[in-house]
Structure formats: C-alpha cells, structure tokens
A and B are shown apart, each in its own frame.
Chain A
Amino acid sequence: MSDLPIFLQRNWGTFVNALGTHLKLSFSAVAIGICIAVPTGILLTRFPKAAKKVLAGVGVLQTVPSMVMFGLAMPLLGIGIRTALVVLIIYSILPILRNTYTGISEIPEKYIIAARGMGMNGFQMLMRVELPLAGSVIISGIQLSAVYIISWTTIAALVGAGGLGDLIYTGIMTYNYSMILLGAAPASILAVLTSLLIGWLARIATPRGLRM
C-alpha cells in the first residue's frame, strides 16, 4: 500500500482521464434523468390512476441487476459510452420520479385548496406552491439517484465506457491492488462528496419558513 502515492504519480494521466470520464458519465446520466423524471413525475400527479402503474413498471425495471441490464443493452446498442449512458439514465430515473410524484402528491390539501381558491391556474400553482413545497423531497430523490449512479458508473467500464471502473477491472485482472484502490477509493469519495454537496445545496435553497 505504501507505494500508492508513487503509483498514483506514475499513472496520473490515466487516473485523471478515468476520473474525468466517470464524472462526465455519471453527471450527464443524472442530469438527463432529472430532465426526464421531474416533468414525468409532475405529469403523473395529474393522472393518479396511471401513476400507480407507471411507478410500478419503473420499479420493476429498477430491480433488474445492473450487470444484467448492461448485458442486455450491449447487443442492442453495442459497446461504448452511449450504451453506458442509456443504462445509467434508466437507473437514475426511478428515485427522482418517485420522489417528485410523492413530494407533490403529499402536499397537504389545504395549500392546494387555498391556491385554487385564490385563482392560481395550474402552472402558477406548480411554480409557486407545488414545486417549492415538494422541493426538498425531489432534491433528496436526486441525491439518492446521484449516489447510486456514481457507484454504478464503475460497472459501465464493462461495456467499454471507461471511467474509474476501468482501473478497478484492470487491477483485478492484473492482481494490482494499487490500481484497484485507485479506482475504488475515488469512486466512493466522489459518491459521499456529491451526496454532501447536494444536501448542502438543498439546505440553502430551502426557504426559511420551511426549515423548522
């Protein structure tokens, strides 16, 4: 283990490259996931009957082990970063979708009645009441999703997408513990830091009136 710093120094270029790919891959997956899941979640609150079925369906998709999912995606989409991205996006959707839906559905009815009774239209209600009140629940969905995706991105190396997973698999195959560590440790640290960062952002974004 003591040769880890030297190892890192020697493989600095490879490491930075892998880290960069890892970050790019997981953050694009979560970002695209947000763009899909938040609007869909909002839409589902308008159709509660359909919502149950959709959420159940996405839930089933989520239970497919990620290894299997990558395996299934490969014959269809080939090898490379595109396949990895598609699979990761699918995984990023559920926590955000579910939290957006529950966050908005569980807003106490009194706020909805008050908003409607004062003459807000659907869009105004969404922007001024529903999203602010469901915000912290939605953000915690994003937080959860981001943590998952950062760790699952390591598996994406299997379909040739690169990232920190590359270091781990290469390390395993060559019995090089330093290399395994060089992939695994930053991935874990990245997950924890991202979680903390999102948590902190959520806190400063919460209006004072909701913080108690």
Chain B
Amino acid sequence: MVKIKFQNVRKVYNGTDVVDNLNLEVATGKFTVLIGPSGCGKTTTLKMVNRLVDPSAGEIFIEGKNISDLNPVDLRRRIGYVIQQIGLFPNMTIAQNIEVVPRLLHWPKQKRLDRTAELLSMVGMDPQQFMNRYPSELSGGQQQRIGVLRALAVEPPILLMDEPFGALDPITRESLQDEIKKLQMKLGVTVLFVTHDMDEAIKLADMIVLMREGQVEQAASPEKLLSDPVSDFVQEFIGKKHLPTNYDVESVWEIMNPNAVTIAKTKGINESIALMNKRNVDSLIIVDENRKLEGIVSVEEIRAAGRQESRIRRIGDLGIRQVPTINIHSQARDAFDLIVNENPRFIVAVDDEDIVYGIVTKTSLVKALAGVVWGDETDV
C-alpha cells in the first residue's frame, strides 16, 4: 500500500533544482529513511509532505489525495513533525507541549490529559513527575522524547522526522533510535525520516532512499542497498565499514583502530587537555617527534599534576608509564588474548621500531567479530 507518492516533483530555489523530477512511493506503515549528502534535497523532500515547502512542479499524493488541494493547516495537524532542534515551546509545560495539536483540534480536557499520561508512560517517563515540568528542566534526550510524543499526540497516520537525533550524544541517540523503532512498529505509523548517518538509516529503515542532487539514486531495503549498490556513488556513501568482508581476521594491522589520539611529548598540559576534550578520550598516547611510543597519560594523572601546582609544563615530563603494546604484524588473536586476560583500557599497536600506528580496544574486538559474522551472512 502506498501512503505518500511523489510524482515528477521538482523544487527550484534561486534557479537551482534542489529536487529534480523526484518519483518516490512511501509504503504504509513502513519506516522510510531519506539519506544523502548535504544539499541532496532530502529535507526539502520531507518538508513538501506537510507543505512547509510547496513544489515548483509535480504532484504529491497522500492516500491518493493530491495535497495541493488540501488546506495546509489541516494537513499539518494530521501529520506528526519532529525537527532536529526539538523546538519544545519553553513557555509551556511538558503536558502543554504535548497537548498543542490536541488543543488545536479542540479535544476535551480529560481526553487530552489521558492521552498525555498514556504517551509519557509509553516512553517510560512518569506522568506525575514530568507533566508539569518545563522543557528547560529536561535533558536533551528527554526533550526530544517529548518532541516525538508531541508529534504522535493525535495518532497521526504519518510521522515526519527531520534529523531528529542529529544533535544528541551517541548514547542518547542509540536509545532514542531503539524507542522510535519500537513505537513505529507498535503504532504502525508511516515514518519518513531524514538523516545523513548511514548507521542510523540501516538500523531504523525498512526502506532507504539514497538521494543525490535532488534525485533518487537508489531506493531499497538496507540489505539490498548494502549487497547491491547500483552505483559507485552508493557504494562510496555506504562506506567501507559496511561492505561485506570476506577476509579472515589475521593481523593486528587489520583490526586496530588507526585513529589513536597521540600527542608529542613537547606539548603543553593545556594543549593536551584541549586535545582530550576535542577527541573525547580520557587518555593520550605520548610520542616523540618520530611517532615513537613514549608512554601514555590519563586525564586523572593530568588533573593530579594540576592539583599539586607542580611546575610541569610539558606533557612528556608527566609520569609516563609503561603500556601494553603489540606488534602490528602479530596475530589479532594475541591482541585479543591480551585484552581479555589483562583487561587494559587499550593496547598500543606499534611496529618493530616502536612507532605508533593505532590502538586495539575491546571495541576493535567486537567489530572484528561482527565483521566475520557479517561476512559469513553476505557470502551465502
């Protein structure tokens, strides 16, 4: 069944085609993800569904009705809409925010109240505790949960989501992804979701629509997209990490994370802290001018040094300690043995001359195993 249908849709801004002859069918009750590089027209496509943007040419149908014949205000009240910046009204309580559309539709008070309580319970937020709070009293993740509930308040058959989790931290994002997928399946709502994150698309989508320069490059299920990319562009966009891997995990070189955060031993303390913040790590690998391993330093050690008001200026003077290392040509199994048995935070991967190439962590281990599993599946 087709919920939303785009027929030869074009949108021109300042002489450029942002959306160019788009033909697309979004299936009822499915989770469809629009993805592509920035400027590919995915957000414009989304906004044409609730007429925040009107097409320059072509038609859009919802359940067979041409939406240009519908009143945009009425149309929008029947389509849920979630935006990246969340946009909860700061002057309204959580309950008032959720009840915006029910109020616009003149629901009676008791019905609104019941619905709000029901929705909050659905995402595990205690209605008594949250209803009368204000958005500024909630974390970003909680706020976007409310943003989703607000969009679902009147049980709209369609939910539009414009990079809803893009501004959240990775852990919160993961849990909201899980929740939205659960909600979508439970409610059977048709979701059209914009993202630029392929991992997110693969995790959520029933169908991924990869867009390029205003057109559909490939529309397919995640499995199909990964196994049968129609072009180099798709292949490249999917990225190497998602490609089927048929090699056996062998050397440390293949499984290590090459993005180890290193710092020259002559750098200052403040610079080190800034680097840690920027790369979001809690330890740094100290190297000399040839990237030869000197040791590691953790954020605790830097803090301790700071507290003692010591005169340490250079990171290299700070208690360098020995770290577990492994040669990049060794077998990956040896690295994993080391991790499992000695439980270090990470192992530094070096060559014969102690030059740092990367690190091996528990995550590398899991990824390597996943790669093997993935490879087996796609080989069949």
* Interface residue ranges, A against B (CB under 8 Å): 108, 110-111, 113-121, 124, 128-129, 132-133, 207-210, 212
Nearest residue (CB) in B for A135 is B91
The CA of A124 and the CA of B73, in the complex, are separated in Å by 11
Residues in B neighbouring A210, C-beta threshold 8 A: 90-91
Residues in B neighbouring A124, C-beta threshold 8 A: 104
Cross-chain pair count, CB within 8 angstroms: 71
Asked if B86 is an interface residue, CB under 8 A from chain A, the answer is yes
CB atoms of A209 and B81 under 8 A apart: no
The CA of A209 and the CA of B77, in the complex, are separated in Å by 25
Contact A113 B87, CB 8 Å, known A118-B100, A120-B104, A209-B136: yes
Residues in B neighbouring A119, C-beta threshold 8 A: 73-78, 101, 104
CB atoms of B91 and A132 under 8 A apart: yes
Residues in B neighbouring A111, C-beta threshold 8 A: 87, 89-90
The CA of A113 and the CA of B162, in the complex, are separated in Å by 12
The CA of A48 and the CA of B5, in the complex, are separated in Å by 36
CB atoms of A209 and B87 under 8 A apart: no
CB atoms of A207 and B92 under 8 A apart: yes
**Residues 139-161 of chain B, each 1 if its beta carbon lies under 8 Å from chain A, else 0:** 00000000000110000000010
The CA of A70 and the CA of B73, in the complex, are separated in Å by 50
SS of B interface (majority): mixed
Residues in B neighbouring A120, C-beta threshold 8 A: 73, 100, 104
CB atoms of B86 and A110 under 8 A apart: yes
CB atoms of B104 and A209 under 8 A apart: no
CB atoms of A118 and B77 under 8 A apart: yes
B116 to chain A, nearest CB (A): 15
CB atoms of A133 and B76 under 8 A apart: no
Residues in A neighbouring B134, C-beta threshold 8 A: 207-209
CB atoms of B90 and A118 under 8 A apart: no
**Residues 62-92 of chain B, each 1 if its beta carbon lies under 8 Å from chain A, else 0:** 0000000000011111100101011111111
The CA of A204 and the CA of B83, in the complex, are separated in Å by 31
Asked if B177 is an interface residue, CB under 8 A from chain A, the answer is no
CB atoms of B81 and A114 under 8 A apart: yes
CB atoms of B87 and A114 under 8 A apart: yes
The CA of A121 and the CA of B92, in the complex, are separated in Å by 18
CB atoms of A117 and B104 under 8 A apart: no
The CA of A210 and the CA of B52, in the complex, are separated in Å by 28
A120 to chain B, nearest CB (A): 7
The CA of A119 and the CA of B101, in the complex, are separated in Å by 7
CB atoms of A110 and B87 under 8 A apart: yes
A-B contact pairs, 8 of them (CB 8 A): A110-B83, A113-B85, A114-B87, A114-B89, A118-B77, A118-B81, A133-B90, A209-B91
Nearest residue (CB) in A for B80 is A118
Residues in A neighbouring B151, C-beta threshold 8 A: 118
